[in-house]
Amino acid sequence: MRCLGIVDWGIGGIDFARKFHKAFPQVQTIYLSDSGFTPYGKLADVDLRRRLAHLVEILAERGASHVVIACNAASTTLSDDKSEAINQAVDTSFGLPCIGVIQPTLAVLRKLPKSQAPVLVLGGKRTIDSGIYQQGLEDAGLACIAKIAQPLSALVERGVTSGAELLATLGEILGDDLPTIATLVPACTHYMAILPALTKITKPSFVIDPAAETLKYLSMHWRPAPIMGADSKNPDIFLTTGSAEAMRLSAMSAFGFSMPSVSILSR
C-alpha cells in the first residue's frame, strides 16, 4: 500500500483519513470528495457502481494502489449479492483492491456477546434500506434497531455539530420511545462529528466506529509502505467535484481537519 485512495460523497470520510494519517504517516493519501455529483443515496445501484468505478480509475491514474470507500451508502454496492456484501470485505472488480466501511464493521458486530444488544444502527436511507447491517446482526442472533438518520449528514456538511438544530433533528429521528441501547453504530462517517450529541441521547455502553474498524482491517490485511524519511513521502492530495472552499470549511468545522489545498475535478 504505497498510496491510498479515499472516496466519499462529501467530507464524512475525512474522519477515516485523519485516523489513517495518524496510523500511517508515511503513506500518501488521495482524498476524493464527490459532492458535485448526485448524492449517492439517490442513485440506482448500477449507476452508483458505475460512478465508483470511474472514481477508482481516476485514483489509479494518480497513483493509488488501494482504495477505501469511506461511505456507508456507497459500501452497500460493493457486491451484487447481499451474502457476499456481508461476508466479503475486499472488492477487486474496479481494478484496485477496494474495501468499504460496512464489511469490516460487520465482522466485529457479528462477534458481539448477547450482552451488547440491542444494537442501534443509525445511517442514511440507502444504508438502512439495504438491510446489510440488519441481516448481519440477525445472523449473529443480535437484536438490531435500525433508524434512517439522513438529515444528520447534511447538518455535518454545513458544520452543524452541536446546538438546538442538531438536538431537534436527533429528537425527530430517535423519537420518544427509544429502548435502552447497549451498542451504537454510527453507520455514516459523518456521524462521528456529532458523537457527543448521539451518545448523550442514546446512552450506549459501547460505540462501534466503522472508520476505526476499517482502519484495523486495513492494518491487518494490507501491507503499508515501509517507514522512510519524512521528506521521501509524496504530499497528500485532496480532490473534489464540488466546491473546494466548501470542502475546506466543512472539514475544519466538522473534524478540525486543515487541508493545504483542494483541486477541483470535472464531474
For strand 183-187 and strand 206-207, is the pairing parallel, antiparallel, or unpaired?
parallel
Q: How far is CA 169 from CA 96, 126, 127, 160, 255, in A?
A: 38, 19, 19, 11, 20
pLDDT by position in tens, the chain (length 267): 989 999 999 999 999 999 999 999 999 999 999 999 999 999 999 999 999 999 999 999 999 999 999 999 999 998 654 444 444 568 888 999 999 999 999 999 999 999 999 999 999 999 999 999 999 999 999 999 999 999 999 999 999 999 999 999 999 999 988 999 999 999 999 999 999 999 999 999 999 999 999 999 999 999 887 776 656 678 999 999 999 999 999 999 999 999 989 999 987
pLDDT of residue 145: 97
Cα atoms in the Cβ-side hemisphere of radius 13 Å centred on 17: 30
- The beta-strand segments (E) located in the chain are 3-8, 28-33, 66-69, 90-91, 98-100, 119-123, 144-148, 183-187, 206-207, 237-240, 263-264
Whether a cis peptide bond, with omega within 30° of 0, leads into 118 is: yes
The sheet carrying 98-100 orders its strands as: 90-91, 98-100, 66-69, 3-8, 28-33, 237-240, 263-264
109, three cell numbers: 458486530
CATH second-level architecture of 3-104+213-264?
3-Layer(aba) Sandwich (3.40)
Ranges of CATH 3.40.50.1860 domains, the chain:
3-104+213-264, 106-209
Cα atoms in the Cβ-side hemisphere of radius 13 Å centred on 104: 25
pLDDT of residue 266: 83
| Three-class HEC string of 227-267 | CCCHHHCCCCEEEECCCHHHHHHHHHHHHCCCCCCCEECCC
Cα gap 190→205, rounded to integer Å: 21
CA 266 to chain centre: 23
Give residues with Cβ within 8 angstroms of 35, minimum separation 6: 9, 10, 11, 157, 240, 241, 242, 243, 246, 247
pLDDT of residue 225: 79
pLDDT of residue 82: 46
Q: How far is CA 160 from CA 19, 153, 192, 200, 244, in A?
A: 21, 10, 12, 16, 19
Q: Is 121 in contact with 133 (CB distance < 8 Å)?
A: yes
To the question of domain 106-209 being in CATH 3.40.50.1860, the answer is yes
Angle between helices 14-23 and 244-255 (to 10 degrees): 70
pLDDT of residue 88: 53
